[in-house]
Chain A
Amino acid sequence: QIALNESGPTLVKPTQTLTLTCTFSGFSLSTSGVGVGWIRQPPGKALECLALIYWDDDKHYSPSLKSRLTITKVTSRNQVVLSLANADPVDTATYYCAHTSSGKLYWFDPWGQGIPVTVSS
C-alpha cells in the first residue's frame, strides 16, 4: 500500500527558503517509471504543480517558479525534498506530494494529506 507524508515548517518568514520533505512507503524511487510530484493549493484556490522527480533523476519544474525551486531525492531514505527560495506571502498554501508511475508527466495517485504552510513575518 502506497503512502506519502509531507513534513516541514508550517510558518516561514518572507525571503527565507521553504524546505519540505516527502517521506513515502510502498514504492521505491529506484523503480523504473516511478516519480514523485509536489503540488500546492493556496487557500480557496486551484491546484498548481510545482516540480516532479523520477527514478532516473529526471526533474521537471514549473516554468513560472523554476528559478526558485529545487527538487531532490534521497532514495535510500524514501524521501523527496522540495526547496522554494525567497518565500513570499503568495506562497502561502497547502503543499502536497504525490506518487506517479506508468510514465512521465502522468497522473498522481495517491497523494499525501498535505501540509499547510504560511509565509508571514
Chain B
Amino acid sequence: YELTQPPSVSVSPGQTARITCSADGLPNQYVHWYQQKPGQAPVLVMYQDSRRPSGTPERFSGSSSGATVTLTIGGVQAEDEADYYCQSLDRTGSFVIFGGGTKLTVL
C-alpha cells in the first residue's frame, strides 16, 4: 500500500500546477501536503485535503475526488519551485505514510 505521486510537474510562471496523490483503495483518510525546498525542512501547506494553514498563500488549494487528492497551485511563482509530498495513513489506518514526492519545476 502506498501513496503515488507523479515524479515531476513542470509549469510556466503564472500557469496552474496540479499535483496528484492517489492510492489503491485510499482508506478514506485525510491527506496532508508539504513543500520542501532544497536543504530545508518540509513545511505544511495543506491539511485535511483542502484546509490551508495560516501562512500558506491563497494560490494553494486542495481537493479530493474518489481515490485521488490534488494540490493545486494557481498562478505559479518561481518561489513555488520545490518538492511536494503528500501524507496520509497506511491501509490499517494505524501509521503515517508519505508519497514518493513530486518535483515542481517552474520553467
Contacts and interface: CB of A to CB of B under 8 A. Distances in A.
Contact of A46 (B44, B85, B90): B85
A37 B87 CA distance: 13
Interface string B37-52: 0001111100110000
Contacts of A60: 94-96
Contacts of A111: 41-43
Interface of A: 37, 39, 46-49, 52, 60-63, 96, 105-114
B29 to A, nearest CB: 8
Contacts of A46: 85, 98-101
Main secondary structure of the interface of B (DSSP, over half): loop
Given A46-B85, A107-B32, A37 B95 contact: no
Contacts of A39: 98
Chain B contact patch, size range: 20 to 34
B95 A47 contact: no
Main secondary structure of the interface of A (DSSP, over half): loop
Contacts of A61: 95
Contacts of B30: 106
A105 B96 contact: yes
Most chain A CB inside 10 Å of its own CB: which residue of B40, B41, B53: B41
B104 interface: no
B41 A114 contact: yes
Contacts of A105: 89, 93-96
Given A46-B99, A47-B87, 18 more contacts: A39-B98, A46-B85, A46-B98, A47-B42, A47-B85, A47-B98, A48-B98, A49-B95, A105-B89, A105-B95, A106-B30, A106-B32, A107-B32, A108-B32, A108-B42, A109-B44, A110-B43, A112-B41
B97 interface: yes
A48 B40 CA distance: 16
13 contacts: A46-B100, A46-B101, A47-B87, A63-B95, A105-B95, A105-B96, A106-B30, A107-B44, A107-B48, A107-B87, A108-B42, A108-B87, A112-B41
